[in-house]
Amino acid sequence: MKQKLLLTAYVSIIILIGIACSRQEITTDIETSVLSDAQLEKITAANQIGLRHNQALDYLASHCDLFTVTNEQKFQIISDFFVSISNTDKQKTEWMEAKKRGCSDCNFTYNSISEWVNANKSKLSEIEIGYILQMEKALDIYNSDGIEKLIDALQVLEKKMVTDAKLTHPSMLLGTSAILRHSIQYWHDAYSNPKHLYYDVVNHDVVPRNICTYCLRVAIVDAFAYSDCLSNGHFGTWEVANNVCTGQGAYSSAIHY
């Protein structure tokens, strides 16, 4: 009897150690590596792009009737938001000129990230393609493990990109991932939270289900409308380009809700 109790205790200890090790491995994988000040600044700037995308959608909702507003009106309201957050008169002037070259009637209809990659291979390096396809792989987590795990995975990927010495210009990819991350969170909340500004319009003609596949598609469209805009536009300073192209991502969100 004593031997059986000792054996049971031993096995229990082994199992607990195994669980602890497994949790440690997961935690280590998600934890950030030590970032330099410059790397941290890039992560912070990219996150701000995603936040501005969502703020623009909030601004739109508070300045119109979401059920009756036209696409042209959506574009103008979102443009007004980015003018309002410009820090100087020079930035406002640059933005006003840049938004004239914006795309108020563009309708980005990529159904997957792979589809966007195939259409833009000539503009991308192999390493950029690799990271973009990792974004697509991360989206599978939404269906299997939920929104929080997906956000974690994209944040880990952003830290990998910013610390990869082979990726010489990570800003576009970081901004794309940030918009993808913030947009999927935004539309997931709009779909599931009755107090959200867009809850009524999102659920007006969407069949309720546990997973919002619609949210994934809109997030893809948003993020890669931003990438398209950066690739095709000529907006002067990087800050103005980011504002214009973040606005383009928000506008793409607005015409797909």
pLDDT at 122 over 70: yes
Within a domain: 41: yes
In angstroms, the CA 184 to CA 67 distance is 21
Q: What are 157-182's pLDDT values in tens digits? A: 999 999 999 998 899 999 999 999 99
Residue 150's pLDDT is 95
Within a domain: 21: no
Residue 252's pLDDT is 85
User: What is the b/e burial string over 204-225, where b = at least 16 CB atoms within 10 angstroms of the residue's CB?
Assistant: eeeeeeeebebbbbbbbbbbbb
For 144, the domain range is: 37-254
Query: Which one-letter amino acid corresponds to residue 24?
Result: Q
Residue 64's pLDDT is 97
pLDDT at 113 over 80: yes
Query: What is the pLDDT averaged over residues 242-257?
Result: 81
Within a domain: 90: yes
Within a domain: 32: no
Q: Is the pTM value of this prediction over 0.85?
A: no
Q: How many domains does the chain fold into?
A: 1
In angstroms, the CA 135 to CA 162 distance is 14
In angstroms, the CA 75 to CA 64 distance is 12
Q: What are 69-98's pLDDT values in tens digits? A: 998 888 889 888 888 887 767 766 766 666
Tokens of 62: 């508070």
